[in-house]
Amino acid sequence: MDCTGPTRRQAIASFAVLLSPAADAAVWPADLAAAVAAFTRSAPLREGRVTLEIAELVDNGNAVPLSLSVQSPMTPADHVVAVAVFNERNPQREVALFGFGPRSARAQVSTRIRLATSQKLVAVARMNDGSCWSRTVDVIVTIAACIEGES
């Protein structure tokens, strides 16, 4: 080929970059980004260290088991101060905020949450040195919470 514009192969490659998960933070809605920034105190967010365990396909959004853990030695010099969970499409962006003390041997917590619809979940951990780590997970919900009234 002797054309000077982008080849079809290059064009496909550039689309692949746009769709890659690394671009997640850039495609968050403004209110989600604002809620996360309020927790991180505008520290740069890095992907990793946080594990967020939740079913990818959720039958019932009223009680979805969620457990999260953060890779950290939990020593006085290096520990997790707090972990927050945010969502993309519930009425309110915050899900929960967890704080750990010196007696927490591991930064780990399990709970049950509500999900209004299929959406992204973001877990953010704040370390004692101020750095913030995150993990984003997509979940598909078939029966939503918060929609139906009392029967």
Partner 1 sequence: MARTLITLPAQIRRDEVIEVRTLVAHPMETGYRPGADGKVLPRDLIRRFSCTFDDGVTKDLVFSAELFAAISANPFLAFPLRATSGGTLIFVWEGDNGFRQAETVALRLA
Which residues of the chain form contacts with partner 1 (CB under 8 A)?
A: 62-64, 67, 87, 90-92, 94-106, 108-115, 145-146, 148-151
- The Cα 46–Cα 39 span in angstroms is 14
* Closest to partner 1 by CB, 4 or 151: 151
Q: How far apart are CA 106 and CA 15, in angstroms?
A: 40
User: Closest separation between CB of residue 107 and partner 1, Å?
Assistant: 8
Could you tell me the smallest distance in angstroms from the CB atom of residue 117 to partner 1?
12
Min dist CB 24 to partner 1, Å, is 20
Minimum CB separation of residue 46 from partner 1 in Å reads 23
Residue 122 near residue 38 (C-beta atoms within 8 A) = no
CB of 11 to partner 1, least distance (A): 40
Cβ-based nearer residue to partner 1, 6 or 99: 99
Residue with tokens 């591991």: 106
Q: What are the tokens at 146? A: 């918060």
| Closer by beta carbon to partner 1, 33 or else 81 | 81
At CA 107, angle to CA 103 and CA 112, rounded to 5? 115
Residue closer to partner 1, measured from CB, 46 or 112: 112
Which of 43/96 has CB closer to partner 1?
A: 96
Cα 98 to Cα 37: distance, rounded to the nearest angstrom: 16
